[in-house]
Amino acid sequence: MASPIYFVTFCTWERLELNRAARQVVMDACQYFHGERYAIFSGVVMPDHVHLLIQPWRKDSGKFWTIGSILHSIKGFSAKQIPSVMPHIGKVWQDGRHERLVVGDRHFQATVQYIYQNPMVAQLTYIPHI
| Best CATH choice for the domain 5-121 from the list 3.30.70.1290, 3.50.50.60, 3.40.50.2000, 3.40.50.10790 | 3.30.70.1290
pTM of the model: 0.91
Tell which residue, 23, 19, 41, 40, has the closest CA to residue 31. Answer: 40
Distance CA 34, CA 54 (A): 9
Which three-class secondary structure state does DSSP give residue 102? strand
Residue 90: band (very low, low, confident or very high) from pLDDT cuts 50, 70, 90: confident
Instruction: Quote the pLDDT of residue 62.
Output: 87
pLDDT tens sequence across 55-69: 999 998 889 999 999
63, 1 Cβ separation under 8 angstroms: no
pLDDT given for residue 129 in this prediction: 63
Residue with the larger pLDDT of the pair 66 and 119: 66
Residue 127 has pLDDT above 80, yes or no: no
Give me the sign of the Cα torsion angle 63, 67, 68, 72: positive
- Residue 32 confidence (pLDDT) above 70: yes
Within 8 A by CB and 6+ apart from 77, the residues are 29, 32
The predicted-structure confidence for 13-24, as pLDDT tens digits, reads as follows 999 999 999 999
User: What does the domain layout of the chain look like in residue ranges?
Assistant: 5-121
Tell me: pLDDT of 1 over 60. no
